[in-house]
Amino acid sequence: MSHILLITSSPRGDGSLSARFGTQIAEGVQARLGGTLTVRDLAANPVPHITPAYIHGRVTAPDARTPEQSDAVNFAQSLVEELKAADVIVLSSGMINFGLPSPLKAWFDHVTWPGVTFSYDGNGPKGLLTGKKVYLVTASGGVFAEGPYAPFDFQTNYLLHLLGFIGLTDVELVRVEGTVLGPDAEKAAVAGAEAAVQALLTKAA
């Protein structure tokens, strides 16, 4: 039985297009493949930014950790276990100041863990979370996939790098962009994303 993990992160609430299409993908995959769905809304329930307790605690023997270090490491471990349990991961992100929302960055800071989700060997870094399908939805007011603003997309390319770094390389990308360029552009962006999502769900069936 498949298990799907949906991670949303936009602070825009009901107006979030990234969360809208991410949810549509997650629920669509569940309808087609069956299984269970876990939702982690990082906007409603933000992951705290990492602290010295986490940094030092994860390299300290469990029986030598302070209570604060134990709490920090145990919390990070719970996020990692949630990620490991998923067969399908749907990650949605709405651009904030050219990058990803800070709660999503904090989530990655917890789960990008040496020796746990990645390691190094003679060939360099090796991601340890393999064999999972990922759907990535990124939204932006401007157009960043191509054109003059493409060099300033510090959201999509960074997310693809982070996912790949921990072994999540089987990624399908849906972009929702150009939504602040006028009503027609917004309508076209939404229609394009709808079509892309439907095409992906057809493949998932």
- Residue 168 among known ligand-binding residues: no
- Residue 92 among known ligand-binding residues: no
- Residue 18 among known ligand-binding residues: yes
Q: How far apart are CA 81 and CA 78, in angstroms?
A: 5
Q: Parallel, antiparallel, or unpaired for β 88-94 and 118-121?
A: unpaired
| Cα dihedral 1, 10, 137, 89 in deg (nearest 10) | -20
Transcribe 12-39 into DSSP letters. TGGG-HHHHHHHHHHHHHHHHH--EEEE
- Residue 9 among known ligand-binding residues: no
Q: How far apart are CA 15 and CA 164, in angstroms?
A: 29
Tokens describing residue 18: 């990234």
Length of the chain as a residue count: 205
Q: How far apart are CA 91 and CA 93, in angstroms?
A: 7
The residue assigned the tokens 């996939």 is: 145
Which residues line the annotated binding site for FMN? 10, 16-18
Residues flagged as binding site? 10, 16-18
